[in-house]
Amino acid sequence: MLKIENLHASIAGKEILKGINLTVGEGEVHAIMGPNGSGKSTLSNVLVGHPAYTVTEGTVTFRGKDLLGMTPEDRSHEGLFLSFQYPVEIPGVSMTTFMRTAVNAQRTYRGLPPLEAADFLKLMREKRALVGLDSKLANRSVNEGFSGGEKKRNEIYQMAMLEPLLSILDETDSGLDIDALRIVAEGVNKLHTPQNSVIVITHYQRLLNYIRPDVVHVLYAGRIVKTGGPELAQELEERGYDWLKG
């Protein structure tokens, strides 16, 4: 699915990623953990093509294609999704219009005709029910006036609508209370199939109680310094990150 080799990236001339190697197979759930400033968010932003970051070295292939050569929108069309740590508000643009534009852009890329209005609304209703999103939110402007929990749930709802092959959840647990966390995690689990993969980026272990990873990586100072099974997350919770610094 995803193969990252020797990835170096910088922002404003400062190198943040210093040689990342990572392979995610079909259907796998990977967790990337690490302390603040280790490069977790940089990695997710680089993968989806945020223009503020510059890749200085290395390659990334997604389903055999060169990911780094694609525009951000084409990466999305190819099946890459980022659940943002801080989803932005877009005043005046209804969720319906926004999602319809997004879904139809993806369909056009894949050579499919745009969805008819009725079919689209049906799809919205189904997915909304799946992730437990209030219908009132779906009728509002994108993220405008949403609480922290509502914004995160709205991210998972968009993930459901776009049916990505690889989803990156960037600190999805930050700012959520335990109930909101459980609802969001349930949504992610419902959407997980043997065909699609997930990268969970998190500072804390608690999200991983709900979304069970197959593999856990520790990112530290721009490099992956340790890889293990789910038990590694537990160990990090108990011992912190300091023991890995050496």
Partner 1 sequence: MKSDESNKEIRQLTEEKYKYGFTTDVATDIIGPGLSEEVVRLISSKKGEPEWLLDFRLKAYRHWLTMTCPTWAHLTIPPIDFQAISYYADPRRKAAGPHSLDDIDPAVMKTFDKLGIPLEERLALSGGMAVDAVMDSVSVKTTFKETLKEKGIIFCSISEAVREYPDLVRQYLGSVVSYRDNFYAALNSAVFSDGSFVYIPKGVRCPMELSTYFRINAAGTGQFERTLIVADDDAYVSYLEGCTAPMRDENQLHAAIVEIVVLDRAEVKYSTVQNWYPGDAEGRGGVYNFVTKRGHCRGVNSKISWTQVETGSAITWKYPSCVLSGDNSVGEFYSVAVTNHHQQADTGTKMIHLGRNTRSTIISKGISAGRSSNAYRGLVRVGEKADGARNYSQCDSLLLGDQCGAHTFPYMDIHNETAVVEHEATTSKISEDQLFYCNQRGIPTEDAIGLIVNGYAKEVLNKLPMEFAVEAQKLLSVSLEGSVG
The residues of the shown chain that bind partner 1, judged by CB under 8 A, are: 48-52, 54, 71-73, 75-77, 81-82, 84, 87-88, 90-94, 97-98, 101-102, 105-106, 109, 141, 158, 162
Rounded least distance, CB 98 to partner 1, Å: 7
Going by C-alpha positions, the residue among 194, 200, 165, 163 that lies closest to residue 63 is: 165
Between 5 and 163, CB nearer to partner 1: 163
Rounded least distance, CB 107 to partner 1, Å: 9
Between 73 and 126, CB nearer to partner 1: 73
Between 50 and 206, CB nearer to partner 1: 50
The whole-angstrom separation of Cα 102 and Cα 97 is: 9
Contact 59, 68 (CB under 8 A): yes
Rounded least distance, CB 8 to partner 1, Å: 17
E strand or H helix at 92: strand 90-94
Measured on CA atoms in the order 246, 30, 80, 138, is the torsion positive or negative?
A: negative
Rounded least distance, CB 240 to partner 1, Å: 32
Quick one: tokens of 218?
A: 């520790």
Between 38 and 158, CB nearer to partner 1: 158
Contact 210, 186 (CB under 8 A): yes
Say which residues have a Cβ less than 8 Å from residue 96's Cβ, sequence separation at least 6.
121, 124, 138, 139
Phi-psi group of 240: left, alpha or beta (phi > 0 → left; psi -120 to 50 → alpha; rest → beta):
left
Between 109 and 243, CB nearer to partner 1: 109
Going by C-alpha positions, the residue among 67, 65, 35 that lies closest to residue 204 is: 35
Between 102 and 244, CB nearer to partner 1: 102
Rounded least distance, CB 65 to partner 1, Å: 16
Rounded least distance, CB 154 to partner 1, Å: 11
